[in-house]
Amino acid sequence: MGGAVYTELEYLTNERTGCYTNKGHQLSVDLACCIIEKGYGGFGAMCGLSVVALLSGIWLYAPFMKNISFGTIRSSHRRIYWMDWHKLLGIATLSWAVLLSLSGFIFIFAGPVHNAWNESIRKEFLIDYQDKPFPVHRISIDEAMEVTQAALPDRRITGIEVPQEDGKMRWHYTVRTQGEGWGAHLNKPVWVDASTGKVTAVIQQPWYIQTISMANPVHFSNHDTLPLKILWFITDALTCIMIITGIYAWFVKFRPNKGNAANKLQAKSVPPVRQSSRQIWLLPVVIILITLFGIIAPLAGKEFNTISAVALAIPLVLTGYYWLRS
């Protein structure tokens, strides 16, 4: 909101280290921010197209599963074999891939919406300050933090912006605060009058800004423990394999197959299993919901990390089971 920014306060517990994962995180953020600053939407467009591709896969899933049960891997033809793996891995990684792609899309393109809301809030609350001069005598940063902590005793201070004469917040300290659980991912700024030391406003974000704000932690911050990192890595690898199997199956479709008649006879030897819509979707929906819970749960607090790891492991175990069975 303008002004010099001071973060990483001495009591801030979320300190960064130089480990590989944090460097990877920073690289992803820097890439996104670089693209935003240069005005390109390529990174966000990729995320958006990924969401469209995944949702179209859901639309196409049922017609291909009418005559086979979930997890069936047929080896009658190379294309059929890879398509069966594509469908299985698609269900196992669907929630993860959709949430990561959607949150990345929001993270890239939500800046203008957030900036417009910030500007409207400033005009609403600071209308009485427009004709006032820049305050020469100001309270200290420590005093601004004390006033903020008294106003919101159940929240932690995570950063502060000091007033500057050429900034948009010339008359106020903007103190950013963080709560617990879900509130840890939602900023609630406090505007402290730099002259009087009184709280001018405690800014409550509307629902759509809160939704936008959750895109960042969904994309970056819900895999803090080593088991979750390992599970995310495996799920990421399976997502890549899912994409590769789909591309390969599409290319194989155009290759001439000399043994086509023999393959058709072999395919007929696999007994068809006529399934209703409920039978087709029951297990996939369960897997999708379990994975969704495993991704979202850590955002509610560290106490959910273990159950989240269990939830994320279930689709992977099922994938391993069907792989061994095939």
- What is the per-residue pLDDT across 96-121, written as a single tens digit (0 to 9) for each? 999 999 998 888 888 888 888 888 88
pLDDT at residue number 93: 94
User: In which band, very low, low, confident or very high, does the pLDDT at 6 lie, cut at 50, 70 and 90?
Assistant: very low
Q: How confident is the model at residue 12 (pLDDT cuts 50, 70, 90)?
A: very low
pLDDT at 257 (0 to 100): 59
pLDDT number for residue 227: 92
Structure tokens belonging to residue 290 = 């379990």
Tell me: pLDDT of 180 over 50.
Answer: yes
Query: What does the pLDDT average to over 52-81?
Result: 88
Task: Compute the average pLDDT of residues 242-267.
Answer: 69
What are the distances in angstroms from CA 292 to CA 54, 218, 288? 15, 11, 6
Q: How confident is the model at residue 5 (pLDDT cuts 50, 70, 90)?
A: very low
For residue 76, is pLDDT > 50?
yes
Lowest mean pLDDT among 59-73, 163-177, 188-202, 246-260: 246-260
Angstrom distance (rounded) from CA 115 to CA 1: 9
Measured CA to CA, the distance from residue 289 to residue 282 in angstroms comes to 11
Tens of pLDDT, residues 308-323:
999 999 999 999 998 8
Buried b (16+ CB within 10 A) or exposed e, 49-58: ebbeebeebe
How confident is the model at residue 87, as a pLDDT? 94
Lowest-confidence region among 101-115, 239-253, 255-269 = 255-269
Higher local confidence (pLDDT), 237 or 123: 237
Sheet holding 156-162, edge to edge: 4-7, 156-162, 172-178, 190-193, 199-202
Does pLDDT of 264 surpass 70?
no
Length of the chain: 326
Q: What is the pLDDT of residue 95?
A: 93
Residue 299 has pLDDT above 60, yes or no: yes
Mean predicted lDDT score pLDDT of the chain: 82
* Average of per-residue pLDDT across 122-141: 84
pLDDT of residue 11: 34
Share above pLDDT 70 across residues of the chain, in percent, rounded to a whole number = 82
pLDDT at residue 90, as a whole number? 94
> How confident is the model at residue 110, as a pLDDT?
84
The pLDDT value given to residue 202: 92
The residues near 138 (Cβ < 8 Å, ≥ 6 apart) are: 163, 194, 195
Distance, in Å, from the CA atom of 192 to the CA atom of 176, rounded to the nearest integer, reads: 11
